[in-house]
Chains A and B, each alone.
Chain A
């Protein structure tokens, strides 16, 4: 009788011990799993997906901004070029563009093709780029930047570039100019990123890159027939205003989305973006008012866009007052370049792609080196006005290298495309209009 009781007591303890052991091991397994995979945050993911949609909206917005500024016989050609990019660059990005831009680094210059066809780009987070959102969310957000950057160049060669040549040129440009520069500034291992160059949402990668390419295209393709004497006023300024308004709206995705999370950093970028645009629009209006006695609608929207361009690299590093100065500077400099310098030198940068995006982007990149402060973003740096002149030198270096690469590569690519298939539309095509000759379509009927 005693033996049975003793036996029963002694076999329960190992069982209890084993059960406790299993429970602890089970807990360890769960906890270990949580540590290995960065946790996806639904707020961050929601914001980045929404921001991606906002940035995509900027391409059709740009299409109407530009479209309203060209002659009515060419408006469809501009809309078509933008829409084509939405299709072509998306596919390029998925197949190899994303890998080249953000993939595993090769010598600081470019990503490799490990992520060809988005292999390895899944739904868990990529801790290095964006730790709280699925990797594909980061990929698709960046895709929208890759789409709009070549679209900006359209402003330089509007009304005179052949559609097929445009398609080939921009595909080559996206792969050989955009993807490398994107890698240098934002890719892990990219040499400008290693320098510590600050570019929150694309001053160098997007605006300087496209702006310089625009200047090259304007110079290589030459002036439109009759320029500058034959007047070609905007055929639909309401479209241009609508486009500019949607650009302003979408830019919140462009800049605040680049925080890659929903919180303080996104907020400060949002605020800086808005304030810079407001300051710039006001400044341009005041300049016109002073010079000509009347402010114009075209002026105020151009100013607002210039402000948005300039704040892009600085948006996550400056405080609201810095944003005001950046906006004011953008309008002053872009007004000088688009209105005064262009008239003086006579190049046909049709829609001021260089004048606004190129010059505005350069000012923005430099201004980041002036106004950046760690009190806004501890992961950034202090600029000149906060006691650190070294950052300004880095910004200048990054700007110069981007300008040089974009200028040389855009020139080479355009020359090649021109030699192989002819880039400029014929005189007949230019006179009749690209809509009818390139697309067999007319934007506006007259009777019915």
Chain B
């Protein structure tokens, strides 16, 4: 089992979720985050105060998948989120030790889907 974390551009969320749906990957957690990579970002100006473009708004997706779905998930996220510009984001694949469905107490691969 793997835990996939993806940091993507906020305006790509709808596209990525649509691609995941196509591959039958339904379960996902989405959160709003700030971050920076090498992307310089957009400066903000408030009267005389200039906010340098440091932390940018991004969206984090977290998906727990069985091994068979890893490639499809990465593929879906990449095709939905890629624009070709700096700032498209990253995908991290972590090993997942255990999964428990709270309602029923099931564990393991069965509890993921």
CB distance from A402 to the nearest CB of B (A): 38
CB-CB under 8 A from B34, the residues of chain A are 446-447
- The minimal Cβ–Cβ distance linking A163 to chain B, given in whole angstroms, is 15
CB distance from A411 to the nearest CB of B (A): 30
Q: How far is the CA of A231 from the CA of B83 in the complex (A)?
A: 20
| Stretch of B42-50, B91-99, B104-112 that contacts chain A | B42-50
Interface stretch, picked from A302-310, A313-321, A437-445, is A437-445
Q: In the complex the two chains form, what is the Cα distance from A442 to B45 in whole Å?
A: 9
Which chain B residues border A433 with CB–CB below 8 Å? Answer: 11
B79 at the interface (CB under 8 A from A): no
**Is B32's CB within 8 Å of the partner chain A?**
yes
Q: Please, which residues of chain A bring their CB within 8 A of the CB of B45?
A: 440-441
Contact with A along B71-110 (1 / 0, CB 8 A): 0000000000001000000000000000000000000000
User: Which residues on A sit within 8 Å (CB–CB) of B67?
Assistant: none
Determine whether the beta carbon of A436 is less than 8 Å from that of B14: no
Which chain B residue has the least Cβ–Cβ distance from A447? B34
Indicate whether B66 reaches chain A with its CB closer than 8 angstroms: no
Given A446-B34, A446-B57, A447-B34, A440:B43 Cβ within 8 A: yes
Whole-angstrom distance between the alpha carbons of A431 and B34 in the complex? 17
Taken together as a complex, chains A and B put the C-alpha atoms of A442 and B51 apart, in Å, by 11
Q: Mark A398-442, 1 if CB is under 8 A from B, else 0.
A: 000000000000000000000000000000000111001100111
List residues of chain B with CB within 8 A of the CB of A436. Answer: 42, 44
Output the least CB separation between B85 and chain A (Å): 8
User: Which chain B positions have C-beta within 8 A of A4?
Assistant: none
DSSP majority for the B interface? mixed
A229 touches B14 (CB 8 A): yes
Q: Given the interface contacts A436-B44, A446-B34, does A231 sit within 8 Å of B9 by beta carbon? A: no
CB distance from A437 to the nearest CB of B (A): 7
A226 CB within 8 Å of chain B? yes
Q: How far is the CB of A425 from chain B (nearest CB, A)?
A: 13
Report the Cα distance A432→B9, complex, angstroms.
9
Smallest CB separation, A446 vs chain B (Å): 6
Of B9, B15, B44, which one neighbours A441 at CB under 8 angstroms? B44
- With CB as the reference atom, state the residue of chain B lying closest to A437: B42
Q: Do A230 and B42 have beta carbons less than 8 Å apart?
A: no
Cβ-defined contact, A230 with B44, below 8 A = no
Q: Say how far A435's CB is from chain B's closest CB, in angstroms.
A: 9
Mark contacts of A335-359 with chain B using CB atoms, 8 A cut-off: 1 yes-contact digit, 0 otherwise.
0000000000000000000000000
Q: How far is the CA of A231 from the CA of B15 in the complex (A)?
A: 11
Question: Interface readout for B6-18 with A: 1 if CB under 8 Å, 0 if not?
Answer: 0001110011001
A218 to B15 Cα, complex, angstroms:
23
Given A431-B9, A447-B34, A442-B44 contact (CB < 8 Å): yes
Give the docked Cα–Cα distance between A437 and B46 (Å): 14
Contact B14 A230 (CB under 8 A): yes
Q: Which residues of B contact A432 (CB under 8 A)?
A: 11, 42
Interface pair B42/A231, CB less than 8 Å apart: no
- Residues of chain B lying within 8 A (CB to CB) of residue A446: 32, 34, 57
Chain B residue at minimum C-beta to C-beta distance from A435: B44
Residues of A within 8 A of B32 (CB): 446
Residues of chain A within 8 A of B44, CB atoms compared:
436, 440-442
Contacts of A447 in B (CB 8 A): 34, 55
CB distance from A330 to the nearest CB of B (A): 33
State which of A73, A231, A440 has its C-beta within 8 Å of the C-beta of B14: A231
| Residues of B contacting A231 in the complex (Cβ-Cβ under 8 angstroms) | 14
Taking the closest CB of chain A, its distance from the CB of B51, in whole angstroms, is 8
Give Cα distance in the complex from A432 to B39, angstroms: 14
Please give the distance in Å from A209's CB to the nearest CB on chain B: 34
- Chain B residues positioned under 8 Å from A441 (CB to CB): 44-46
- Which B-chain residue is minimally distant from A430 (CB atoms)? B11
**A442: chain B residues within 8 A (beta carbon):** 44
CA distance A229 to B9 in the complex (A): 18
Inter-chain CA distance A436–B15, complex, in Å, is 22
CA distance A73 to B32 in the complex (A): 13
A144-166 to B contact mask, C-beta < 8 Å, 1/0 = 00000000000000000000000
CA distance A440 to B9 in the complex (A): 18
Q: Mark A224-238, 1 if CB is under 8 A from B, else 0.
A: 001001110000000
Q: Which residues of B contact A73 (CB under 8 A)?
A: 10
**Interface mask (B29-59 → A, CB under 8 Å = 1, otherwise 0):** 0001010000000111110000000010100
Residue in A closest to B87 when the chains form the complex, CB atoms: A432
Given A446-B32, A446-B57, A440 and B11 contact (CB-CB distance below 8 Å): no
A-B pairs, top 5 by smallest CB distance, nearest first, are: A431-B11, A230-B14, A440-B45, A436-B42, A440-B44
A to B CB contacts below 8 Å, 6 in the list:
A230-B15, A432-B42, A436-B44, A441-B46, A446-B32, A446-B34
In the complex, given contacts A230-B14, A431-B83, what are 10 additional A-B residue pairs having Cβ atoms less than 8 angstroms apart? A73-B10, A226-B14, A431-B11, A437-B42, A440-B45, A441-B46, A446-B32, A446-B34, A446-B57, A447-B34
